[in-house]
Amino acid sequence: MSKSEVDAGDSVHPGKPVIVDRYTVAARINHWITAVSLVLLALSGLALFTPALYFLTGLFGGGQLTRIIHPWIGVVLFLSFMGLFFRFFRLNLWERTDSVWMSRMRDVLANEENKLPEVGKYNAGQKMVFWSMSLFILVLITSGVVIWDQYFGNYFTIEQKRIAVLIHSATAIVAICVWIVHVYAAIWVRGTIGAMTRGKVTGGWAWRHHRRWLKDLVTGKN
């Protein structure tokens, strides 16, 4: 028997249209702290990455302040993502049907979701965002500590710091790309943004995109 797709706080409200609670207030605040800190980190990090983008330091009060603030925002992102991780990891565990979903990307992009296995609370694409971000944020905080000279300068050799800078920047670029895909998908699948702004989606949205989740909710499987 497959696991229940229902999360704490999920519930269905009959009506016209049917409304389904998808995220609690706490989960939404947690997500938006993560989102804002990632955007600020990307802007301040890109400002330090290349002289061509140095002008972005103006947003943070100049070069010195950007250098001081950037690692602290990183700590905020790390802690807040840990919150998301423990909230969401259970329903992001990979299942056999996720591999089938991925292998039929053509149907996903053609909006032919009826031809695909029924999806639980998260589809395979969302799960990939979740796990890749988990890995990237771990790599970013670890490599970030190695190059945080103010506090950890004496603990690492110059050679180690050079390697860490390379890993840190390369991972940041890939994480920014994953973030762009995440936001694009949230906009592309109409009705999804409401999940993170109001915590709610319509029954039609849930039936179309996350049918197994809706069925588990309605049948009380939890």
Q: Which residues are catalytically annotated?
A: 182
Q: Which of residues 12-71 bind ligand HEM (CB under 6 A)?
A: 22, 31, 34-35, 38
Query: What is the rounded distance in angstroms from the CA atom of residue 26 to the CA atom of residue 36?
Result: 15
Query: What is the rounded distance in angstroms from the CA atom of residue 194 to the CA atom of residue 1?
Result: 31
- Identify which of residues 100 and 180 has a Cβ nearer to ligand HEM in the complex: 180
The footprint of ligand HEM on this chain (CB under 6 A) covers a number of residues equal to 22
Instruction: Note the residue count of the chain.
Output: 222
Residue from 108, 138, 176, 196 touching ligand HEM (CB under 6 A): that is 196
Question: Could you give the C-alpha distances from 160 to 66, 78, 170, 175, 186, in angstroms and in order?
Answer: 23, 22, 16, 22, 38
122 binds ligand HEM (CB under 6 A): yes
- Binding span for ligand HEM by CB under 6 A among 3-11, 63-71, 177-185, 214-222: 177-185
The b/e string for 56-95 (b: 16+ C-beta within 10 A; e otherwise) is bbeebeeeeebbebbbebbebbbebbbbbbebbeebbeee
124 binds ligand HEM (CB under 6 A): no
Query: What is the rounded distance in angstroms from the CA atom of residue 52 to the CA atom of residue 155?
Result: 31
Shortest distance, position 125 Cβ to ligand HEM, whole Å: 8
By the criterion CB under 6 A, which residues form the site for ligand HEM? 22, 31, 34-35, 38, 81, 84, 88, 92, 122, 126, 129-130, 133, 179, 182-183, 186, 192-193, 195-196
